[in-house]
Amino acid sequence: MSVKLILSWAIAFVVGSLLFEWYSVAAVGGVCGWFLIGRKPIINTAVAASIGWWVLLIGTATRGEVGKFAATLGAVMGLAPVVLFLLVGIFPALLAGSAAALTSAVREWQEARRTEAV
Amino acid sequence: MKKSVARTLRGSLGATALGALAWAGAFGVSPVPPLGNLLDPVRGVWQVAVTPDPVDLNTKISSLDGPVRVVFDDRAVPHIFAATTADAVRALGYIVARDRLFQMELQTRATAGTLTELVGRAALGIDQNARRLGMAASAERMFGELDPTGFTRTRLDEYAEGVNAWIDEMPDTELPLEYHLLGSAPARWEAVHTAFLLRQMGLTLAGYAHDLRREQVIALVGEDAAAALFPVHSLLQEPIQPNGEDGPRYDLAPIPPPVPGGPAELAAVGAINAMLFADPSVPDRPVEASNNWVVAGSRTESGNALLAGDPHLDLTLPSIWYEAHMVVPGEIDVYGVTFPGVPGIVIGFNRNLSWSFTNTGADVMDFYDESLDDPERPTRYMLDGQWRDLDVRVERYLGKRGNVLAEDTIYSTHRGPIRQVGGRSLSMRWTVLETAGEILALDGVSRATNVGEWRTAMRTFRAPAQNGVAADTDGNISLYSFGWYPVRPDDGNGLVVRDGTTSESDWTGEWEFLAYPGAVNPEQGFLASANQEPVDPGTNPTFLGADWTSPWRAIRINQLLRANDSVTAEDMRAYQTDPGSARAEFFLPFLTEAGAYGENENAARARTLLREWDGRYTPDSKAAVVFEWTMDRLTALTWDELIADGDSRRVDTPGDVLLWSLMHDSDNQWWDNKETQEIENRDQLIVRAMGWAYADAVARYGEIGEGWRWENVGHANIEHLIRAPPLSRFGIPVQAGIGTLGAWSRSGKHGPSWRMVVEMGSEVRAQVTYPGGQSGNPMSLFYDDRIQQWSNGQLDEVLFPRTPDDLPRERTIATVLLEAGR
C-alpha cells in the first residue's frame, strides 16, 4: 500500500479524533480495515492510527510544553517520558488494528459467501 | 477451509482485543486510569500542558446580573470588579474553580466521607471516620435549616452558581491533571459543600479529644500527675489579653510521681487508642503555630498601625489558600486569601481595616458515657430516667462506579454522634457541628471600617474559635478570641467524660461575647497571639481549655515588640522568620550546666557547642541540630511512663513548658527512666540525651563539619494533595525551629501557610506570600512560583487597585470578561 494511502487514513484518524472522542479511533479503524481488505489491513490501519495520534500530539506540543509535561507525568506514573510518547502511538494502533482485524475478517467472510453463492 | 479458519480466528481475536481495549480505554484497569481519555492528544492529559496560565477570556454566565471584569496581575492574583456583591461572589467561584477545581472537590469529599467515589476503596477508612464524626450530616442539617432567602444561604448559592458555571463550560482541555490520573470527572458543586469545608477546618483546628486523652493519661500515671502534666492553665503566662506584666509570669508547681491505674483503666487506654488512631487522617494533637500581632501608631516609625499575620496550617500543593481581590463600588473593596470553596476573603484587608487569625485551641469537644437499650442494635438511650429515641443514620460508601463498598449505621443522641470505645458508648458534643454563622461574619469583616465594626461582625463567628487581630487606618488595634466557648456544669471542667444519663451533664450555656478574652488599644501599644492561653487565670480563671500550646512564640514576639518603639513594616516582615527562640533561652542554662560530663565525651562535645550558641535557628547553625535532637531524646526519656505496655508511642506528650518546669526539680521521680535499673536524676538524663543527640548527628552527617547545618534538619516538605512526590516540593530550607516564630514542625508538612504584613496608612500597603502558587496545574508558572520567596522569608508588595484602569498594564497578564446571559 502506498504511503499516500496510509497518510490519507492517518488524516481520517486525525479528523475523527478532533471531531469525536478517542473511541473514534475504533470506528475509523473498522472502516479502514473494511476498505483495506487484501492490503495488510491490520498493520496499515495500526500504522495510520499511530501516525494520526502522533501528529495530533505534535500539534499539542506546538501549543504547550509537552516534553516537560511528559517528564512530570512520567514521574507521577513511574514511567519514562518516552514510554508515554510511545503509548500515544501504541494505544490507537492496537485499538484501530483490532477493529480492522474484525471488519476485514467480516468483509472477507462476506465476500467468500458471495463467491460461494456465485 | 484453512483460510476460513484463519479468518474466523482473526475476526475473533480482533473482536476480543477490540472489546478489551475499548474497556481499558473507557474504564481503565485498576490502578491504570481509562487509557482513552488519558492518552487522547486532543482532549486527554496532554492538554494539561497547553493552557496552564491565565489567558484572556470573554464568556457569558447565565446567573450573573451584570458584567464582571477580572484582571489577573503578574502574580496571577485575580482582581474582580463587579457591580454587585452577588456577582463578585459568583465570579470568585468561577475563577477559583478554574484554578483549583480538583482541590475543592477533594477537600469537600474528605469531609463528606465520599472520597471512595473519587479514588476507590483505599479511602474507605478516611471516609468512615469523617462520617462517624458527623461532619457532613451536621453540615447538611444546618444547611437545611438556613433561611433560603437569608444571607448565608444566598451567598453559598451564588458561589455555587459561579463554580458550576465554570464546570459547565469547562472544555475538556481544561480538565485538571488529577482527574485524568484518577479517571474521574468533576462533580457539581453544591452550596452545602462550603459548609463541609468549614467543618473540615474545624476538625483541623478544634478536633482534639482532650477528655479521652486525659482518661488515658490518668490510667497510666494517676489523676494527680495527669492534672500536673496537662494543666488547665499554662505554667508560663504570656497571655493574649495583656496582664500588666512586662514579661512572662511563672506558676511552677511540683509534679506528683506517676501512679499507674488498675487493669481496667489500663485496658481502656488501648481502646481509646484504637479509636483515636484508627485512621492516620484523624488529627493527633493539633500542631498550633500561628502568629499574629498588631502595633499601634505610637510605636511605629510611620505613625501608622501595622499588622502581621501568619496562620500555620498544613503545607500542601496547591496551597490551602487562594489570593484574590474583590471590588464592588460602594460595597466592598477587600483583598486577601480565601479557602477554595469559601465565598469570601478569610484573612486580608480593605481600605480601612486589616485582620488575621490564629487558632485559639479552646476545649470545644466533650464526651458523654451513654446508656443504650441494646448495645448491639440500639434504638433508644436513657436520659433523666426515660428512654429517648436515637437518631439513626445509615451511611453507604460507594465506589468509583457507584457500587456499594460498605455500610455504617451512625447513632446520635441530642448531643451528637456515638462511637464505641472499649465497651462504652460515647456520644460527642462538638461546637464545630453546630455552627453556621461564619460566612456572615467573614462578610461583615470584609465591610468593616474600623476595629469596632470588625468586633461586632465577628459576633457570629462560632467555630473553630479564633484569635482575631485587627488594625485600622484610624490607628486602632485590637485582638479578641472569638468563638463559642461552652460553659459546663459543676466545676466547669471540660476534661472529663460525663455521665450521659442525666441532662445535668449538658452544657449550661456559653461565654458572653463581652467576656471573650482580648483588648483594644492597650497601653503597651501592641498585641500578639501565638496560640497561647488567651487570658491569665489571675484575671479570669474560668475554664476555657487546657494544656495550652507552650508560649515560646508569644514570649519571643513580645520580646521583640517591647524592645522596638519604632517598628517598621520591614521589621514586621523580619520578625515572621526571626530565628530567635525563647524555648532555647529557657532550656540552655539547664543543658549546659548539667554535671557528669566526664563519663560521656559526646555529651561534653554537645555542651561545648551549646555553650557557644546564641539560641538562633539560622540555616548554618550546628548547635541547633544538637539542641533539637537533645530535646527529642530528653522528651522521650522523661515521659516514658506515658507509653502503654505493648505500645510504642506516648498517649500524649506534655508541653515543653512542663519539661522546663520539671527542670527545677532535679530529683523528681519523673526523671527516672523505667527502662533502666538505676534511678536517674535530671542531669543524668540530660547528659544521656545530649550524648545520644551528638551521636545521632555524627551518624547522620559524619564528624562535625559542614554537614552539620540546621537547614539539613529544619526544612519544609510541601506535599501535593494526592501525595505524588513529583508534584510535591520537599526539602525547602526554612529559618525556623520549634518554638521560633517561623515554627518549624518535625514533619516539615506544617508551617506558615500565608504571611501578610499590612501598613494601615492613608493608602493601605500590604506585603504577602504563601508557599505555593495560585494555580493547581503543575505545568503552570504559578504552581509553585512563591516557594523560593517564602523560603527566603521575603514578601511581595501587592497591587491594590480601586478600578481596573489602576492596574499597570505591564503588570497585567490576562483579563476575563464575564457577562450575563447565555
Residue B84: its pLDDT value, please?
Answer: 97
CB neighbourhood size of B396 (10 A): 10
B280 has pLDDT over 50: no
Across the interface, whether the CB atoms of B40 and A17 are under 8 A apart is answered: yes
B49 → closest Cβ in A54, A66, A98 = A66
β-strands B68-73, B57-61: how paired?
A: unpaired
Chain B residues whose CB is inside 8 A of the A69 CB are 46, 48-49, 779
**Dihedral sign, Cα of residue B449, residue B451, residue B457, residue B462:** positive
Beta bridge partners of B349: B335, B354
B545, three cell numbers? 481549655
The chain A residue lying nearest B1, using CA atoms, is A112
**Dihedral sign, Cα of residue B719, residue B723, residue B729, residue B730:** positive
The lowest-confidence range among B199-208, B386-395, B758-767 is: B199-208
B446 touches B163 (CB < 8 A): no
Confidence bin at B743 (pLDDT 50/70/90) = confident
B4 and chain A: CB distance < 8 Å anywhere? yes
Which class does domain B582-713 fall in? Answer: mainly alpha
Residue B211: its pLDDT value, please?
Answer: 81
B170 touches B85 (CB < 8 A): no
Instruction: Give the three-state DSSP class for B76.
Output: coil
Confidence bin at B273 (pLDDT 50/70/90) = low
Across the interface, whether the CB atoms of B724 and A101 are under 8 A apart is answered: no
A10 to chain B, minimum CA–CA distance in Å?
Answer: 14
B357 has pLDDT over 90: yes
B279 has pLDDT over 60: no
B171 and chain A: CB distance < 8 Å anywhere? no
User: How many Cα atoms sit within 13 Å of B92 on the Cβ side?
Assistant: 31
CB-based contacts of B647: which residues, under 8 Å, 6+ apart? B269, B270, B273
Mean predicted confidence (pLDDT) in B109-115: 94
Greatest Cα-to-Cα distance within chain A, rounded to the nearest angstrom: 61
The model's pLDDT over B777-822, given as tens digits with 9 standing for 90+, comes to 999 999 999 999 999 999 999 999 999 999 999 999 999 999 998 7
Confidence bin at B278 (pLDDT 50/70/90) = low
B262 has pLDDT over 80: no
In the DSSP assignment, the letter for residue B811 is G
Across the interface, whether the CB atoms of B22 and A23 are under 8 A apart is answered: yes
User: How many Cα atoms sit within 13 Å of B19 on the Cβ side?
Assistant: 5
Q: What is the DSSP string of B472-536?
A: ETTS-EEEEEES--EE-STT---SSPEETT-GGGS--EE--GGGSSEEES-TTSEEEESSS-SS-
B25 to chain A, minimum CA–CA distance in Å?
Answer: 8
B22 to chain A, minimum CA–CA distance in Å?
Answer: 7
**Mean residue pLDDT across chain A:** 92
Residue B92: its pLDDT value, please?
Answer: 98
B652 has pLDDT over 90: no
The chain B residue lying nearest A63, using CA atoms, is B50
The side-by-side arrangement of strands in the sheet containing B424-430 is B418-421, B424-430, B365-370, B498-499
φ/ψ of residue A81, rounded to 5: -55, -35
**Rounded to whole angstroms, how far apart are CA atoms A109 and B725?**
53
Chain A residues whose CB is inside 8 A of the B40 CB are 17, 21-22, 53
User: How much of chain B, in percent, has pLDDT values that exceed 90?
Assistant: 77
A21 and chain B: CB distance < 8 Å anywhere? yes
As a residue count, chain B comes to 822
In the DSSP assignment, the letter for residue B42 is T
Chain B residues whose CB is inside 8 A of the A40 CB are none
Which B positions 19-38 lie with beta carbon below 8 A of chain A? 21-22, 25-26, 35-37
The lowest-confidence range among A58-72, B133-147, B166-180, B641-655 is: B641-655
**Mean residue pLDDT across chain B:** 92
Q: Which long-range contacts (CB under 8 A, 24 or more apart) does B708-711 make?
A: B708/B622, B708/B625, B709/B619, B709/B620, B709/B621, B709/B622, B709/B625, B710/B617, B710/B618, B710/B619, B710/B620, B710/B621, B710/B622, B710/B624, B710/B625, B710/B628, B710/B737, B711/B619, B711/B620
Q: What is the DSSP string of B196-221?
A: HHHHHHHHHHH---HHHHHHHHHHHH
Chain B residues whose CB is inside 8 A of the A54 CB are 41
B177 and chain A: CB distance < 8 Å anywhere? yes
The model's pLDDT over B288-340, given as tens digits with 9 standing for 90+, comes to 689 999 999 999 999 999 999 999 999 999 999 999 999 999 999 999 999 99
B392 and chain A: CB distance < 8 Å anywhere? no
A60 → closest Cβ in B4, B7, B46 = B46
A92 to chain B, minimum CA–CA distance in Å?
Answer: 9
Beta bridge partners of B294: B307, B527
Higher pLDDT, B586 or A36: B586
B236 touches B230 (CB < 8 A): no
Chain B residues whose CB is inside 8 A of the A103 CB are 14
Across the interface, whether the CB atoms of B49 and A18 are under 8 A apart is answered: no
Across the interface, whether the CB atoms of B46 and A100 are under 8 A apart is answered: no
Q: Nearest to residue B776, comparing CAs of B91, B177, B243?
A: B177
Give the burial string for B117-128 (b: 16+ CB within 10 Å, else e): bbbbeebbbbbb
In the DSSP assignment, the letter for residue B368 is E
Across the interface, whether the CB atoms of A64 and B13 are under 8 A apart is answered: no
B808 to chain A, minimum CA–CA distance in Å?
Answer: 27
The model's pLDDT over B764-782, given as tens digits with 9 standing for 90+, comes to 999 999 999 999 999 999 9
A75 and chain B: CB distance < 8 Å anywhere? yes
Across the interface, whether the CB atoms of B14 and A105 are under 8 A apart is answered: yes
A105 and chain B: CB distance < 8 Å anywhere? yes
Chain A residues whose CB is inside 8 A of the B39 CB are 22, 53, 87-88, 91-92
B348 touches B757 (CB < 8 A): no
B756 touches B772 (CB < 8 A): no
The model's pLDDT over A30-70, given as tens digits with 9 standing for 90+, comes to 999 999 888 888 999 999 999 999 999 999 999 999 999 99
B190 to chain A, minimum CA–CA distance in Å?
Answer: 29
B305, three cell numbers? 498601625
B25 → closest Cβ in A66, A95, A109 = A95
CB-based contacts of B63: which residues, under 8 Å, 6+ apart? B90, B158, B161, B162, B165
Chain A residues whose CB is inside 8 A of the B45 CB are 73
Chain A residues whose CB is inside 8 A of the B36 CB are 21-23, 91
Radius of gyration for the alpha carbons in chain A, expressed in angstroms and rounded: 17
Across the interface, whether the CB atoms of A102 and B15 are under 8 A apart is answered: yes
B49 touches B778 (CB < 8 A): no
B396 and chain A: CB distance < 8 Å anywhere? no
Beta bridge partners of B419: B426
Residue B375: its pLDDT value, please?
Answer: 84
B775 and chain A: CB distance < 8 Å anywhere? no
In this prediction the pTM is: 0.94
Which B positions 180-209 lie with beta carbon below 8 A of chain A? 181
As a residue count, chain A comes to 118
The lowest-confidence range among B386-400, B413-427, B511-525 is: B413-427
Residue B109: its pLDDT value, please?
Answer: 96
Across the interface, whether the CB atoms of A88 and B41 are under 8 A apart is answered: yes
CB-based contacts of B357: which residues, under 8 Å, 6+ apart? B290, B292, B309, B311, B346, B347, B466, B467, B468, B469
B11 → closest Cβ in A17, A94, A105 = A105
**Rounded to whole angstroms, how far apart are CA atoms B546 and B536?**
13
Confidence bin at B281 (pLDDT 50/70/90) = very low
Instruction: Give the three-state DSSP class for B222.
Output: coil
Give the burial string for B327-362 (b: 16+ CB within 10 Å, else e): bbeeebbbbbbbbbbbbbbbbbbbbbbbbbbbbbbb
A64 and chain B: CB distance < 8 Å anywhere? yes
Confidence bin at B677 (pLDDT 50/70/90) = confident
The model's pLDDT over B197-249, given as tens digits with 9 standing for 90+, comes to 999 888 888 877 778 888 889 989 999 999 999 999 999 999 999 999 999 99
Mean predicted confidence (pLDDT) in B439-460: 95
A49 and chain B: CB distance < 8 Å anywhere? no
Across the interface, whether the CB atoms of A101 and B17 are under 8 A apart is answered: yes
Confidence bin at B286 (pLDDT 50/70/90) = low
Across the interface, whether the CB atoms of A98 and B18 are under 8 A apart is answered: yes
A95 to chain B, minimum CA–CA distance in Å?
Answer: 6
**Rounded to whole angstroms, how far apart are CA atoms A94 and A102?**
12
A78 and chain B: CB distance < 8 Å anywhere? no
Across the interface, whether the CB atoms of B46 and A57 are under 8 A apart is answered: yes
CB-based contacts of A118: which residues, under 8 Å, 6+ apart? none
Across the interface, whether the CB atoms of B44 and A22 are under 8 A apart is answered: yes
Residue carrying C-alpha cell 479528523: A15
B283 has pLDDT over 60: no
